[in-house]
Structure 1
């Protein structure tokens, strides 16, 4: 059975080649020429609020554990609540970054 509305031309399948998707062209040079350090720096430049949220979360957790170890349970509880707020801030920063990058990315016509 053949369909009348064929999406791709009749080309034999070649598993050694990536699939051809109309309107999509991956930028292979950017992915292969970028080291881990370069990618990390680029991600920080794209959304600098996320690393700040991660540092705030780690700091609140560390200080809360330190206070718990020292026996200051009231301060430890306060820092655990602060950690939850910092985690929420970080998640919102990640989601905000995704929205901004989705709005900035060019859309195919």
Structure 2
């Protein structure tokens, strides 16, 4: 093997690796597609996040306006919404885990 061939081989391998990596990345889903897929799998989590953010926002607005009673109530609603969101997340993860296990068991 000549000196020129020794230098060109690693370079060609690097180019091929880069092409392979770019091909793999082209098949990845976009952020929007991933969000839609995950929303369809467990729609309660993003809905719960929106409810939590809404209760927090309205509670802070009420606090700014001096409506202490409404502010306190909205903070309690926020805690409830957060708890339900975490519960939905746990149930979704458990359901996904169970579905993955069934797929593995049926493929054997």
Q: Same fold (TM over 0.5)?
A: yes
The structural deviation recorded for 1:69 is 0.2
Larger Rg: 2
Uncovered stretches (5+) of structure 1, i.e. residues with no partner:
1-28
CA distance in 2, matches of 1:39, 1:33: 10
More helix by share: 2
Match of residue 55 from structure 1? 50
Task: Give the 5 Å matches for 1:1-109.
Answer: 32-105=27-100, 106-107=103-104
The structural deviation recorded for 1:33 is 2.0
CA distance in 1, matches of 2:84, 2:26: 29
Q: How many matched pairs?
A: 81
Q: Secondary structure at the match of 1:107?
A: helix
CA distance in 1, matches of 2:26, 2:46: 22
Residues 74/31 of structure 1: CA separation in 2 closer, same or farther (3 Å cut): farther
TM-score (norm 1): 0.68
TM-score (norm 2): 0.69
The structure 1 segments of at least 4 consecutive aligned residues displaced by more than 3 Å after TM superposition are: 29-32
Q: CA RMSD in A?
A: 1.9
CA distance in 1, matches of 2:83, 2:53: 13
